[in-house]
């Protein structure tokens, strides 16, 4: 069952065609992937995460009102020449960096019929090779090697590789949860089952699936066999469960670093504050203001 083991994923798919209802009304006209975290859109952090794992071929699955996402990664010669003329070399480098990160390809999911349905559109771009999926509203701290570790593991096992975080008992009902057995060390597990949003007290573990996947090409055929599930949508979890039941190996890496979840206002605000305090240019002044504000003395 480890057919194509040894082949490393070299392409990424970012599904970004969802309705982003948890962030309305901001996301009525602006895609949540373009919300700024300090001075970069969420999507740039995600493409940077892919690039630092050696992935420079990125397919964005877009939908209605989402085309501006692609513009962010285009070269902008006019803007660049204006910055150059002004001698603003720092901003010039920042603007150029966006178009140097990766080759961006796009396709459209006409209707948001589910994450599995969205991934199905990637078939003609990735073919039967393994590929990475990065959800468009979360990213890991810059120093994380999670994606590289996942790609390495997938190349060895040939199956599906998931990323987990450990969640407290009272939060299991918000996530897909895995039943697992040990595989390598503490943090690499073999997945024996997946359950979507289990009731509190009935969860097989505290390991919650987060938005990074490395999938084998055979996922496309499984998606085609997947019937609409929760919410009437074609769910990626259901397609993965089909392959698991048929013997495809599924493994997971438990991620213990910082994860920024920008899909709803609370996580978004936390990401902005954490990343702003880490910045060399803004961090000292912002942290000082924040301490004063939290202490009841806004300045």
The pair of structure tokens assigned to 205 is 């573990």
Nearer of residues 18 and 130 to ligand UTP, judged by Cβ: 18
d(CA 41, CA 66): 13
Binding to ligand UTP in span 96-115, by CB under 6 A: 109, 112-115
Binding to ligand UTP in span 221-240, by CB under 6 A: none
Q: Is the dihedral of CA 260, 264, 267, 272 positive or negative?
A: positive
The least distance separating ligand UTP from the CB of residue 137, rounded to whole angstroms, comes to 5
**Contact call for residue 56 and ligand UTP (CB under 6 A):** no
String of DSSP letters for 83-145: HHHHT-HHHHHHHHHHHHS-EEEEEE-SS---HHHHHHTTHHHHTTS-EEEE-TTEEE-TT--
Contacting range for ligand UTP; rule: CB under 6 A; set: 9-17, 142-150, 268-276, 289-297: 9-17
**Contact call for residue 41 and ligand UTP (CB under 6 A):** no
The least distance separating ligand UTP from the CB of residue 113, rounded to whole angstroms, comes to 5
Binding to ligand UTP in span 240-279, by CB under 6 A: 263
d(CA 164, CA 294): 32
Q: Which of 5, 7, 19, 258 binds ligand UTP (CB under 6 A)?
A: 19
9 backbone dihedrals φ, ψ, rounded to 5°: -65, 135
The least distance separating ligand UTP from the CB of residue 225, rounded to whole angstroms, comes to 18
The least distance separating ligand UTP from the CB of residue 246, rounded to whole angstroms, comes to 24
**Contact call for residue 120 and ligand UTP (CB under 6 A):** no
CA distance readout (Å), 14 to 42, 156, 213, 249, 284: 12, 23, 11, 23, 34
**Contact call for residue 117 and ligand UTP (CB under 6 A):** yes
The least distance separating ligand UTP from the CB of residue 211, rounded to whole angstroms, comes to 7
Nearer of residues 41 and 114 to ligand UTP, judged by Cβ: 114
**Contact call for residue 18 and ligand UTP (CB under 6 A):** yes
Q: Which of 22, 96, 125, 279 binds ligand UTP (CB under 6 A)?
A: 22
To 10 degrees, the CA torsion angle through 42, 36, 87, 80? 60
Instruction: Could you list the beta-strand ranges (E) of the chain.
Output: 11-15, 36-37, 40-41, 57-62, 103-108, 131-134, 138-140, 160-166, 176-184, 188-196, 207-215, 250-254, 259-261
Cβ neighbours for 175, distance < 8 A, ≥ 6 positions apart: 167, 197, 208, 209, 210
Q: Are the C-beta atoms of residues 93 and 175 closer than 8 Å to each other?
A: no
Nearer of residues 216 and 263 to ligand UTP, judged by Cβ: 263
The least distance separating ligand UTP from the CB of residue 23, rounded to whole angstroms, comes to 6
The least distance separating ligand UTP from the CB of residue 135, rounded to whole angstroms, comes to 4
Taking CB positions, which residue lies at the least distance from ligand UTP? 18
Which residues form the interface with ligand UTP (CB under 6 A)?
15-22, 61, 109, 112-115, 117-118, 135-137, 263
């Amino acid at each position: 069952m480890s057919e194509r083991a040894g082949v490393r994923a070299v392409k990424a798919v970012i599904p970004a065609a969802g309705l982003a209802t948890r962030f309305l009304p901001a996301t009525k006209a602006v895609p949540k992937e373009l919300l700024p975290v300090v001075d970069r859109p969420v999507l740039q952090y995600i493409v940077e995460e892919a690039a630092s794992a050696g992935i420079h071929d990125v397919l964005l699955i877009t939908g209605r009102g989402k085309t501006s996402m692609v513009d962010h990664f285009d070269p902008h010669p006019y803007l660049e020449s204006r910055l150059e003329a002004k001698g603003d070399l720092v901003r010039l480098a920042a603007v150029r960096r966006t178009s140097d990160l990766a080759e961006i390809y796009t396709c459209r999911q006409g209707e948001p019929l589910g994450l599995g349905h969205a991934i199905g559109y990637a078939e003609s771009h990735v073919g039967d090779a393994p590929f990475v999926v990065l959800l468009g509203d979360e990213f890991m701290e810059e120093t994380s090697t999670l994606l590289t570790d996942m790609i390495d593991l997938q190349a060895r096992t040939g199956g599906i590789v998931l990323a987990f975080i450990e969640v407290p008992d009272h939060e299991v009902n918000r996530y897909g949860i895995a039943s697992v057995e040990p595989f390598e060390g503490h943090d690499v597990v073999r997945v024996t089952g997946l359950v979507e949003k289990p009731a509190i007290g009935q969860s097989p573990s505290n390991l919650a699936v987060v938005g990074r996947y490395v999938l084998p090409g055979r996922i496309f055929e499984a998606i085609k066999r997947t019937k609409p599930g929760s919410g009437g949508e074609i769910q990626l979890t259901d397609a993965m469960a089909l392959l698991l039941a048929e013997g495809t190996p599924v493994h997971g890496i438990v991620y213990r670093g910082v994860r920024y979840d920008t899909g709803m206002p609370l996580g978004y605000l936390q990401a902005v504050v954490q990343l702003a305090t880490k910045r060399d240019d803004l961090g000292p002044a912002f942290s000082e203001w924040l301490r004063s504000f939290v202490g009841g003395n806004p300045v």
